[in-house]
A and B are shown apart, each in its own frame.
Chain A
Amino acid sequence: MEPSYLYGFVGGCLIGLGSLIAFLATKKVPGISGVFGRILRPAKNDVGWRVAFVAGLIGGAAILFRTLDHAAIYRIPEGRNLIVYGLAGLLVGVGTRLGGGCTSGHGVCGVGMGARDSIVATLVFMVAAFATVFLFNIFVSAS
């Protein structure tokens, strides 16, 4: 078995644990797109924990980048430049807020709760992402 699978599983467990703690502490579904997005349109008494969560996320990752070689691996996929990343960011922002969640809100928390809408959303964004990479490889990477 590749070591990356084990790192993946351990990292996944940490993601699940962090999500569980935020879920129990805030009584809200702590999907990252929702936690972050709602900072941009703040509701009363509902901003502090979101800022703390995002700050913790950035800080927690920053510590690991500096202490674990495996975490520091960062490779830009073939054919992508900063324009692609700008467009991708816009689509991810629009899509996650319109669809009500991302890989963590729908994919981890929603699926973990057995919510039908989250299971459907997860299947849909997976298929859309598979198709996008397939087409990107044909039309962009190849040219």
Chain B
Amino acid sequence: MKTLLLSLLAGALVGAGLAVSGMVDPTRVVDFLDVAGDWDPTLAFVMGGAVLVFAAGRLLSRGCCEVPDFPADPISRNLIVGATVFGIGWGLGGFCPGPSLANLGGLREEAFVFVPAMAAGMFLVQRVFGLDR
């Protein structure tokens, strides 16, 4: 029960953060990715804040909590191919998984098209390659 409530709270913070950050606006994301155009660096501030809090929090939590360790996986072909395919999809729509789900909460029709298609893609890969590649 405690895990469920903490997960709900964690998800709410992430959703609120995505909304506050402006990353739910696909044009702001595409303007970051458009390095040849009128570049908008906002996404870098978002990633910077998120990495900073996560990394610092993880190190500080070692004093009070049990912190799991995840050894890095080897650099596989699937990692490279998958990241490339993801990057192409991200550039096309300006949606990555978090913002697409968050935009369901804004009843945006692009999210209602994107999220089922994303779920289908995920289902397919998990079916063929298993959950852990």
Contact = CB atoms under 8 A, between A and B. Distances in A.
Q: Do A and B bind each other?
A: yes
Interface of A: 2, 4-30, 32-33, 36-38, 40-41, 43, 48-50, 52-65, 68, 70-77, 80, 82, 84-100, 102-104, 106-118, 120-122, 124-134, 136-137
A61 B15 contact: yes
Interface residues of B, number: 111
- The secondary structure that dominates the B interface is helix
B6 A22 contact: yes
Nearest to B30: A77
Nearest to B5: A52
A15 B7 contact: no
Contacts of B7: 22, 25-26, 48-50, 52-53, 56
Contact of B85 (A54, A94, A131): A94
Contacts of B85: 91, 94-95, 98-99, 128
A126 to B, nearest CB: 7
Contact of A73 (B11, B25, B34): B25
A49 B37 CA distance: 41
Contacts of A58: 15, 101-102, 104-105
B14 A99 contact: no
